[in-house]
Amino acid sequence: MASRSSGVDESRSVRFLGLLRTLLRHGVVFCVVGGVAAQLEGAPVLTLDLDVLYDKSVDNLGRLLAALRELKARYRDRAGRHVEPDMAKLETMRMHLLTTDLGALDVMAAIGDALTYQDLVDRTVEYQLAEARVLVLELRAVIETKEYADREKDRAVLPVLRQTLAMKARLSGQE
């Protein structure tokens, strides 16, 4: 049952690895951003959805749409309407806040100051997660996007992210 306030099915938790596997199986070109990127980079932060930044090339949009269809993705809609993503929306809209069979998934064409996948791909690190290799936005870039967004929830998590970055620097300096 979807919550009327958020449009998210709160009775089921998001399956992070399952979502990533589905995107990778369809060959989607993307990187993980947001809270999951921060956690993978070592910052202990809680997030209830997976945020990914996708490459907007036409071929990739087709692969992304196929993955979203397999996941039965639809927009989180407070009014409870059933609206599915399509090529036109993926091409033109910047943010897609979706609910899927594996939980909440936010797919984005740009983040922060209109930064695209191509702008940020050089600031990603590759992680091996079980059999999946995924690109993850580096912690410093995550911090910059949160600083740019400057919402209350972003400001709340910034001290943890900055302390994590500082501790990573200290530990790598001691190696």
| Least distance (Å) between residue 33 CB and other proteins | 15
Which residues would be at the binding site for other proteins (CB under 8 A)? 10-17, 36, 39-40, 42-44, 46-48, 127-130, 136, 159-160, 163-164, 167-168, 171-172, 174-175
Beta carbon nearer to other proteins, 67 or 161: 161
Q: DSSP string covering the chain, please?
A: -B-TTTSSBTTS---HHHHHHHHHHTT--EEEEHHHHHHHTT-----SSEEEEE---HHHHHHHHHHHHHTT-EE--TT-------HHHHHH-SEEEEEETTEEEEEES-BTTTB-HHHHGGGEEEEEETTEEEEEE-HHHHHHHHHHH--HHHHHHHHHHHHHHHHHHHHHHH-
Beta carbon nearer to other proteins, 17 or 97: 17
| Least distance (Å) between residue 59 CB and other proteins | 28
Beta carbon nearer to other proteins, 79 or 130: 130
Beta carbon nearer to other proteins, 28 or 104: 104
| Least distance (Å) between residue 113 CB and other proteins | 26
| Least distance (Å) between residue 83 CB and other proteins | 25
